[in-house]
Amino acid sequence: MTMDVKKLSIDTKLIHAGVEPDLTTGAIMTPIYQTTTFVQLAPHQHKGYEYSRTQNPTRYALEKALAAIENGKHATCYASGMAACDAIIKLLRPGDQVVSTNDLYGGSYRLFTKIFKNYGIDFNFIGMNDAQQIEASITPKTKMIWVETPTNPMLNIIDIEACAAIAKKHNLILVVDNTFGSPYLQNPLDWGADIVMHSATKYLGGHSDVVHGCVITNSDTLQEQLKFIQNSCGAVPGPQDCFLILRGLKTLHVRMRQHCLNAKAIAHWLKQNDKVDKVLWCGFEEHPNHAIAKKQMRDFGGIISFSLKEDTVEAANNILSKTELFALAESLGGVESLCGHPASMTHASIPREERLAVGLSDSLIRLSVGIENVDDLIADLEQALS
Catalytic positions, please?
A: 53, 105, 177, 202
Q: Closest separation between CB of residue 347 and ligand P1T, Å?
A: 8
Q: Does 105 bind ligand P1T (CB under 6 A)?
A: yes
> Rounded distance, CA 206 to CA 256, Å?
10
208-227: contacts with ligand P1T (CB under 6 A):
211, 213
Closest residue to ligand P1T in the complex (CB): 81
* E runs forming strands in 69-154: 74-78, 97-101, 122-126, 142-148
**Smallest gap, in angstroms, from Cβ of residue 386 to ligand P1T?**
26
CB nearer ligand P1T, residue 82 or residue 293: 82
Q: Could you tell me the smallest distance in angstroms from the CB atom of residue 278 to ligand P1T?
A: 19
Distance CA 49, CA 263 (A): 44
φ, ψ for residue 347, nearest 5 deg: -120, 20
Between CA 353 and CA 279 the distance in angstroms is 21
**Residue among 287 and 366 whose Cβ is closer to ligand P1T:** 366
Please report, as a single letter, which amino acid is at residue 100: S
Stretch that binds ligand P1T, among 57-65, 68-76, 135-143, 176-184 (CB under 6 A): 176-184
Question: Is residue 294 classed exposed, middle or buried when 0-12, 13-18 and 19+ CB atoms within 10 A define those classes?
Answer: middle
Longest alpha-carbon distance in the chain: 73
Q: How far is the CB of 141 from ligand P1T (least distance, A)?
A: 24
- Label residue 212 exposed, middle or buried (CB < 10 Å: 0-12, 13-18, 19+): buried
The answer to the question of residue 179 lying near ligand P1T (CB under 6 A) is yes
For position 205 contacting ligand P1T by CB under 6 A, the verdict is: no
Compute the least distance from the CB of residue 296 to ligand P1T, in Å: 17
Alpha-carbon dihedral 163, 70, 185, 209, rounded to 10 degrees? -120
Distance CA(141)–CA(77), nearest Å, equals 29
* Given 71, 124, 318, 331, the residue binding ligand P1T (CB under 6 A): 331
Q: Which is nearer to ligand P1T, 52 or 368 (CB)?
A: 368
- 103: contact with ligand P1T by CB under 6 A: no
Candidate residues 330, 336, 354, 372; the one interacting with ligand P1T per rule CB under 6 A: 330
Q: Are 354 and 154 in contact (CB under 8 A)?
A: no
All residues at 6 or more sequence positions from 326 whose CB lies less than 8 Å from its CB, including other chains: 337, 338, 339, 367, 377, 380, 381, 384
Convert residues 273-312 into a mask of x (bound to ligand P1T by CB under 6 A) and - (unbound). Answer: ----------------------------------------
Q: Assign residue 43 a region (left: φ > 0; alpha: ψ between -120 and 50; beta: otherwise).
A: beta
Judged by beta carbon, residue 253 or residue 341, the one nearer ligand P1T is: 341
Pick one of 19, 189, 204, 332: the residue that binds ligand P1T (CB under 6 A): 332
**Which of these segments, 90-98, 103-111, 217-225, 226-234, binds ligand P1T (CB under 6 A)?**
103-111
Q: What letter would DSSP give residue 29?
A: S
Q: Which is nearer to ligand P1T, 165 or 329 (CB)?
A: 329
CA distances from 184 to 22, 146, 237, 293, 343 (A): 27, 21, 23, 14, 29
Residue from the set 70, 159, 177, 380 that interacts with ligand P1T by CB under 6 A: 177
Which is it for strands 97-101 and 142-148: parallel, antiparallel or unpaired? parallel
Region near ligand P1T per CB under 6 A, out of 113-121, 244-252, 284-292, 325-333:
325-333
Asked whether the beta carbons of 336 and 370 are under 8 A apart, the reply is: yes
> What part of residues 72-101 is at the interface with ligand P1T (CB under 6 A)?
80-82
CB closer to ligand P1T, 29 vs 335: 335
Count interface residues toward ligand P1T (CB under 6 A).
19
Which residues contact ligand P1T by CB under 6 A?
80-82, 105, 107-108, 148, 152, 177, 179-180, 199, 201, 211, 213, 330-332, 346
